Structures are given as C-alpha cells and as structure tokens.
Amino acid sequence: MSLAGHQSPPVFKQGPTPLVRLLVLVSVCLAMLVADLRFRYLEVVRQGLSVATWPLQMAAAAPVDFVRNAAVYFATLVEVQQDNAELRRSQLDAAQRLLRFEQLERDNAQLRELLQMAPAPGVRSVAAEVLYDAPDPFSRKVILDRGSQHGVEAGMAVVNAQGMIGQVTRVYPVQAEVTLLTDKDQAVPVQVARNGLRGVLFGAGQGRMELRFTLSGVDVRAGDRLETSGLDGLFLAGLPVAEVVSVDRESQTFAVVLCDPVAAVERTTQVLVLGRAEAPPPRPQPQPHSPPLRRTERKG
C-alpha cells in the first residue's frame, strides 16, 4: 500500500494507488446516493444495518433522555396546577362534543346504509411522543417513540390536537421518522373546506406551505381552511391541515397560494399516528389492449 501523494518504487507497489482507490470509493458513494435518493433501493440495507447500530444509538440518546426527564421532574407545582385546570376545561369541552359525535356517527352509518354507500373507512390510531428532531439538518423531520412493533406503518398521518403535523416516512422497530408538513419534499393532497376545491400542499420553507398548481382563476381566498381530501388512499379525509394566508394572482397561469399550518408543526410533543384500519381497494389496472386515449390536436 502506498500513501497519497507519495509514489513508492514499483518493487514495493501493492494494490491500486490512492487516487484509484479514491475514485472507486467516490463512485461507489455516488451510486449509493442515486440509488437511495432517486430510487429508494437502499431501504432494506438501511433497516438491516440500523439493527447493528441500535445499541450505540440507544446509549447515545440516554443522556438526552436524562436531561429531558430531569426538566420534567423539576417542574413547579404552580405549572402542574395550571396544566391540570386547563386539561379539565378542555376535557369538559371534548366530552360534550364526543356525545354529539357518537350520535352523528350512528346517523351517518345508517344514512350510508340507506344509500347503499360503502362504509366510511375505520380509523387505527397509535399515541406517540416526539423524542427529538432528526439530526439531518437538511430536512424537517422528527423521531417518534413508537415503531413497527406498536403498529406504526410508513404513510400514516401524524396529528396533534389542532391538526395534522406530518407523515410517517420511515419505520424502525421501536421508532419512527416523521417528515413534517413544512419539509420541502412533503406533499399532502388537500381540499378547501369552503368549496371542496382540490389541490396539493407542499412545504415552502420558513414554516410556510404552498398550495401549488392552483390556476389563478379559481376561488381561493385568504382565510380559507384546508383539510385532507383522503384521495391518496392513505390519509383520512377531513383532517385540518392549514389556513390560507395570502393569494398572489400576479403570474399568468398559476396563483401563488401561501398557507400557515393549523397545528404548531415544529413545537409538538404529544401526537397521534392515524391510519386506515383496512387497506384501500386496489387501483383499477389499465386495460392492456384498449386503444390509447386520443388527445385533442392543437392548431398552430
């Protein structure tokens, strides 16, 4: 073996030179990056190796857990009393809503049966706690303390008391990684609660979100509430997501619709992971022999 930048005489040469080794390893790394970021091929490898690094990660997280628990331990009595009063108030409020909700749910089931519609999808929920921000500084992700052993699956929605905060994107045995709504790569299919207009909401940085691909002529106003449409087959319909802050119709085709999340997306600790109780029906397969749809030809 020879050192980088120092040529050894040919007699002692063993193996490839440092520059060759560098190029080989760099190309391996680039291939891994493309396979992971573009095609998601390496999830199996990641899951497998994460089992090996698990003890070290647990040991590293221990001091952070200790500091967090110590902070809880030294909370003052006044704070606990205030919290308690607040919780009692909100529980009373929730109780009377719940009474009405149960009655409405019965009514809804009966009406659906009368109209011979499919029953509304059941809900599966897992209560979880946010452990910490994911260390990767390039994305907005948090780690939950519940994983595949507790029934968390990739794709489930994560909500807090106010509304949706993100989506489970990667599941480990006892932890799960949640991509927050404000992440640049996170998309949520939504509809405007006022008129049912559908769109896709993307993270826009600085804690904001953007309703993209909205034609500038459509009816969206500042103050509109956006909720999940459930058309993706993953999320439940009707979870509150965001509120429209500003609509800019300056450009020709698309309006720039900026929104603020309803929930405190980046400052939440107690969350609920929601998913559908049964898998959505499979998508219809395209007919292999059907003639292709004819497009209207443009003139000019």
Interface residues with another protein (CB under 8 A)?
1, 3-6, 18, 21-22, 25-26, 28-33, 35-37, 42, 45-46, 49-50, 53, 56-57, 59-61, 63-64, 131-141, 143, 170, 177, 183-185, 205
Paired strand residues for 133:
142
As a whole number of angstroms, the distance between CA 111 and CA 107 comes to: 6
Tell me how far, at minimum, the Cβ of 211 lies from another protein, in Å. 19
Stated as kind and residue range, the H or E segment containing 266 is: none
The nearer residue to another protein, 27 or 149, going by C-beta atoms, is 27
Residue 45 CA to chain centroid, in angstroms? 22
Give whichever of 236 and 271 is closer to another protein, judged by the CB atom.
271
For residue 261 the two structure tokens come to 């999340």
Least Å distance, CB 132 to another protein, is: 4
Q: What's the min distance (Å) between Cβ of 6 and another protein?
A: 7
Give me the least distance between CB of 155 and another protein, in Å please: 17
Assign 139 to helix, strand or coil. coil
CB of 142 to another protein, least distance (A): 9
- The residue among 177 and 227 lying less far from another protein, judged by its C-beta, is 177
Nearer to another protein, 33 or 231 (CB): 33
| Residue 188 and residue 181 in contact, taking contact as beta carbons nearer than 8 Å | yes
Q: What is the C-alpha to C-alpha distance for residues 81 and 88, in angstroms, rounded to an integer?
A: 11
CB 201 within 8 A of CB 228: no
**What's the closest the beta carbon of residue 158 comes to another protein, in angstroms?**
16
Residue number, 86 or 185, with CB nearest to another protein: 185
Residue 191 CB, nearest distance to another protein (Å)?
26
Q: What is the largest CA-CA distance in the chain?
A: 90
Least CB distance from residue 28 to another protein, whole Å?
A: 7
Residue 272 host element (H or E) = strand 270-276
- The CA-based angle 219-225-226, given to 5 degrees, is 85
Question: What is the distance between the alpha carbons of residues 210 and 261, in angstroms, rounded to a whole number?
Answer: 10
Angstrom distance (rounded) from CA 234 to CA 157: 8
Q: Which is nearer to another protein, 135 or 300 (CB)?
A: 135
Going through 184-266 in order, the beta strands assigned E by DSSP cover 187-192, 198-205, 208-215, 225-228, 240-248, 254-261
Residue type, 196: G
> How far apart are alpha carbons 204 and 207 in whole angstroms?
7
User: What is the Cα–Cα distance from 190 to 242, expressed in whole angstroms?
Assistant: 9
Which residue lies nearer to another protein by CB, 53 or 82?
53
Buried b (16+ CB within 10 A) or exposed e, 48-83: eeeeeeeeeeeeeeeeeeeeeeeeeeeeeeeeeeee
131 vs 220 by CB, closer to another protein = 131
